Amino acid sequence: MQFIRKMLKNEKGATAIEYGLIAALIAVAAIGAMTSLGSKLGSTFNNVSGNLK
């Protein structure tokens, strides 16, 4: 019975999972932002290159 009580009080695993989910969400948002920024930056450089010719 004490083992079950100890397991119910242990919240370290849940906290680690929450931090993992937050880190994954931040990573997905960063990848999306960098992809969008990269395509816009590439377009800008192509325009500059075209105007220099």
What is d(CA 27, CA 33) in angstroms, rounded to the nearest whole number?
A: 10
The single residue listed with the structure tokens 């680690």 is 16
Which structural domain, as residue segments, surrounds residue 14?
1-52
Give me 1's structure tokens. Answer: 């019975």
Q: What is the mean pLDDT of the segment spanning 6-12?
A: 65
Q: What is the predicted pLDDT for the residue at 6?
A: 65
Q: What is the pLDDT of residues 11-53, one digit of tens each?
A: 667 777 888 899 999 999 999 999 989 888 989 999 999 998 7
pTM of the full structure: 0.58
- Number of domains present in the structure of the chain: 1
What is d(CA 49, CA 41) in angstroms, rounded to the nearest whole number?
A: 12
